[in-house]
Structure 1
Amino acid sequence: MIKLIKKAFAIFKNMHFQSLLANGMMAVFGMITLSILYRNLTVVDIGIYIFFLAIVGLIDNLRAGFLTITIVKFFSGTTEERGNEVAGSAWLLAMVISVIFLIINIPTYFISSYVTDQGLALFLKYFSIISLITLPCFMADCIVQASKRFDRLLWLRIFNQGSYTLIIFTLAYLGKLNLMTVMYTFIGSNLFASCIVLVLRWTMISSVFKARLNTAWELFHFGKYSMGTNISSNLFGVTNTFVINFLIGPAALAMYNLGGKLLQIVEIPLLSFVTSGMPLLSTHYNKGEKTEMIYTLKKLIGMLTIVLIPVVIIALIFAQPIIHLLGGKGYVANEAPNLFRIFMVIALLYPADRFFAIGVDIIHQPKINFYKIIIMSLVNLAAVFAFVGIYHSVYSIAFASITPIVVAIYMTYKPLNKYSKFSFLSIYQVGFKELILLIKQLNNTFFKSSHKIVNEKK
């Protein structure tokens, strides 16, 4: 029994498991929060809030795309002195970005009173405040990833998303939940989490005094291209959000979001493995281990895709009860269940899309992701307007979303294949082989150990 407990603790200490647990906990909090909001706010208010979060998310992803991969790439596997220099230079860039947002927000604050769309008006008023409030949390997130401290990432998720969910639940219980109280809760929970990480010194904010201008420029020139990697998964959702909000309406946006929100079933393990896999890939590249890097890339994509197949099948069969559980019975008879089915099938392409984008950045070709995002944007816009023109429905936008993903995979596969030759099919062959090895390893770790302990007792 003691051996089993020790092995269980060993698994808990595994960085992939810690990353998965951190993001999984965030998903659970997110699902609970969403369920409360859908049951207590009107469909229109939900649509307004979703639109606001989508634009805030785009701004956040601009910053995250600029700095997250950059920090992980330049910080991982370096000396303490170089790490402080990178962290300090990253802080310097982050502060400059925040100042730019503040300057832009001065005229937009006054413009907001003339904007009729409520979600857009809220964004124009508060986006720089939100950017400042979330900055310590954001930097802590980047640094714990780069340091491979995924135990801290778990606590970071609890401080942020956990406090948000708790306050939302309390407001709903007291009957005080409305659009503005949700807004203030969003700002307050982020402020709370940022204060905590500053007190715990997880942000390395003091390293800003060790920043160097040449290092900051080095990070800037890499980050201006790597931004395409992070924003690619967000930009098209924002584009679709704009189209639905202004052409179909906030109520349709609420249904579209409910169907898409459940993609966290896919996004959470994917984000977890991207988060923990990125420093591994960076380490292989920095050591000149070309074969090992590509093998790790193939293993992560293949294993995740194969594991997703049964999840997608379950989602196709049980879409209606799943939607009922999350949003309530009022959303079962509309488009939400079928949207969920469409999104889940498309999600099988996500592992290749995300890891190929990361891989291109790792091999120091961020320009490809920059050009890719431009082409994807044009393809997505063309597909969305073409599909909406043919069939004026949220379904058309869901079907159109597959086109930029296919383009992205093709554009990033080519340079990676040039870096080290591999066939696309070999990704899933490696993934299947590694998955079988993992199952056998887990079987030997737990089941054979438990049989051995039983026999010893006899």
Structure 2
Amino acid sequence: MSLVKKIIENRHFLALATHGFAALFGLVTFMTIARVYDKADFGQWVLYLTGYSFVEMFKEGVISSALVKFLSGTDLPNKKRIVGSSWTLSLIITFSLATLVYLIFLMFPVPIETFGLTLFFKWYPFLSIAILPLNYAAWIFQAEQKFDKILGIRLWSSGFFLSLVLSNLYFRLSVESIVIMHIASNCLISFVVMIKGWSGLSFLSKSNKNDINKLFGFGKYSLGTLIGTNLLKNADTFLISIFLGPVFVALYSVPLRLTELIEMPLRSLVSTALPKLAAASNQNRKKNVEQIFRQYAGILTVLFIPFMVMAFLFAEELVLLAGGEKYLESANIFRIFCIYGLFLSIDRFTGVTLDAINRPKYNLIKVIWMAGANIMGDILVIMLFEELWLVALVTILNVLVGVVMGFRFLKREISVDFFDILRTGWQECYGTYKTYFGTLFTKSKI
């Protein structure tokens, strides 16, 4: 029980649980809605979610990383000022985007309805306001490293909406009613968050122009990095669709979907690493920044090695499970992604560390280099060879460019070494094993 308690209270476990439960609830919600409605109505729901995610990307790109970076390790007066200034900037962006979306809806109703985008353009302005306090609470808790509260917020939000969707199995309301349920569930949790004082909205009066400019100055580079990262993730699919067609897209998408097995723990550790790195940087503890970077990048790289080897060996079985027999020929593509996965954690943590030490411009340049290498490499191999496995091979080139560029920029600020990362990762993994399991096994022998 002591071991279980240690694991459950660990912030990395809590961050992983947050992403895991959100993914699980999202999958069950997705499957339920898909079974209730016909393809046309379900397509409108998917377009609503896609449009919402795309527009929110701009807001979160400017706000979230900047808020976590400058909030981490600060005292209460500075915290109030930063949160208040962030709220001012966020409200400006939110109302600007909401107004723009609604004006487009009023000006072009017929084309919007033709393309099935009515639900998004009609309801996004309300959703953007309803979800803001909830998101702010999560960002503030991330900076304060209170991952248990983030887990609670996300569970209540996703769980309440899922319960409404499941109840619709009986009522069979319109798909527009599902959108209203989505907004209402977020609105309810946001209201609870504001009542508890978690959103930081009460600090709005503390905002000032200098902090708003500082947050926006950082956020504009974060937004560029986020757009570049999304381009990296989707460029392969778009280029394969343009040059080779939808059949090849389907073959490529199954192993690409399996890379979520790599992405989920990586996103979880990134969410716990950023506030620690930012706090150390804000307090001018450069040695601590170096140590935290080596620990996180090293631990995940060492842990990924056995998992990637197992995934490489059982690629056929994993592809069969994910897509069925008709996609078995794409197993070798997934094997290439397993090699890509070995370098992904170092690439990702060089970017996070650059953001944390207030060098978001370098992180953006790194992502631009990666996107350029990926797009040019994809076009070259598709036009010359028309082989999907070569497109996957380009992703290894892309991540290696990220590692090289990341190391180049980090070395201007802190001391980094590839073999030090691996050595630190092994030492930390072995130390963690002894902490959590050494005593347990010793007691069992007695």
Q: TM-score, normalised by structure 2?
A: 0.84
1:293 to 263, 283, 289: 289
Q: CA deviation at 1:436?
A: 1.3
Q: CA RMSD in A?
A: 3.7
Separation of aligned partners in 1, 2:4 and 2:37: 42
Contact 1:58/1:238, CA 8 A, preserved across alignment: no
Unaligned runs of 5+ in 1: none
Q: CA deviation at 1:155?
A: 0.9
Contact 2:44/2:119, CA 8 A, preserved across alignment: no
Instruction: List per-residue Cα deviations over 1:183-235 (Å, max 9, x = no partner).
Output: 56655554444344334332111111221222111111122223344444323
SS at match of 2:415: coil
Aligned amino acid, residue 290 of structure 2: I
Separation of aligned partners in 1, 2:126 and 2:390: 36
Contact 1:43/1:251, CA 8 A, preserved across alignment: no
Residue 230 of structure 2: aligned partner: 234
Aligned amino acid, residue 146 of structure 1: A
Structure 1 residues 434 and 198: CA distance shift in structure 2, 3 A: same
Matches within 5 A, 1:184-333: 187=183, 189-240=185-236, 242-243=238-239, 258-319=254-315, 321-322=317-318, 329=324, 332-333=326-327
Query: Is the aligned partner of 1:108 residue 2:108?
Result: no
Separation of aligned partners in 1, 2:421 and 2:411: 12
Separation of aligned partners in 1, 2:100 and 2:244: 30
Separation of aligned partners in 2, 1:332 and 1:177: 36
Residue 85 of structure 1: aligned partner: 81
Separation of aligned partners in 2, 1:378 and 1:69: 24
2:355 to 345, 349, 361: 361
Separation of aligned partners in 1, 2:114 and 2:392: 24
Instruction: List per-residue Cα deviations over 1:52-104 (Å, max 9, x = no partner).
Output: 64554343333222222211121111111111111111111111111221232
Residue 418 of structure 1: aligned partner: 412
Deviates more, 1:371-380 or 1:147-156: 371-380
Percent of aligned pairs with the same amino acid: 28
Structure 1 residues 410 and 198: CA distance shift in structure 2, 3 A: same
Separation of aligned partners in 1, 2:426 and 2:40: 45
Structure 1 residues 269 and 362: CA distance shift in structure 2, 3 A: same
Residue 365 of structure 2: aligned partner: 371
Query: Is the aligned partner of 1:16 residue 2:20?
Result: no
Separation of aligned partners in 2, 1:19 and 1:430: 22
Q: CA deviation at 1:113?
A: 3.3
Aligned amino acid, residue 104 of structure 1: L
Deviates more, 1:412-421 or 1:117-126: 117-126
Aligned amino acid, residue 432 of structure 2: L
Query: Is the aligned partner of 1:147 residue 2:144?
Result: yes
SS at match of 1:418: coil
Separation of aligned partners in 2, 1:188 and 1:246: 39
Contact 2:229/2:367, CA 8 A, preserved across alignment: no
Contact 2:48/2:120, CA 8 A, preserved across alignment: yes
Q: CA deviation at 1:257?
A: 5.1
SS at match of 1:419: coil
Unaligned runs of 5+ in 2: none
Q: CA deviation at 1:13?
A: 2.5
Structure 1 residues 333 and 76: CA distance shift in structure 2, 3 A: closer
Structure 1 residues 448 and 139: CA distance shift in structure 2, 3 A: same
Contact 1:377/1:404, CA 8 A, preserved across alignment: yes
Residue 440 of structure 1: aligned partner: 434
Separation of aligned partners in 2, 1:334 and 1:195: 48
Aligned amino acid, residue 287 of structure 2: T
Contact 2:36/2:172, CA 8 A, preserved across alignment: no
Bigger relative CO (Cα 8 Å, ≥ 6 apart): 1
Structure 1 residues 25 and 279: CA distance shift in structure 2, 3 A: same
Structure 1 residues 37 and 237: CA distance shift in structure 2, 3 A: farther
Q: TM-score, normalised by structure 1?
A: 0.82
Contact 2:63/2:219, CA 8 A, preserved across alignment: yes
Residue 162 of structure 1: aligned partner: 159
Deviates more, 1:57-66 or 1:352-361: 57-66
Contact 1:349/1:405, CA 8 A, preserved across alignment: yes
Separation of aligned partners in 1, 2:109 and 2:43: 18
SS at match of 2:135: helix
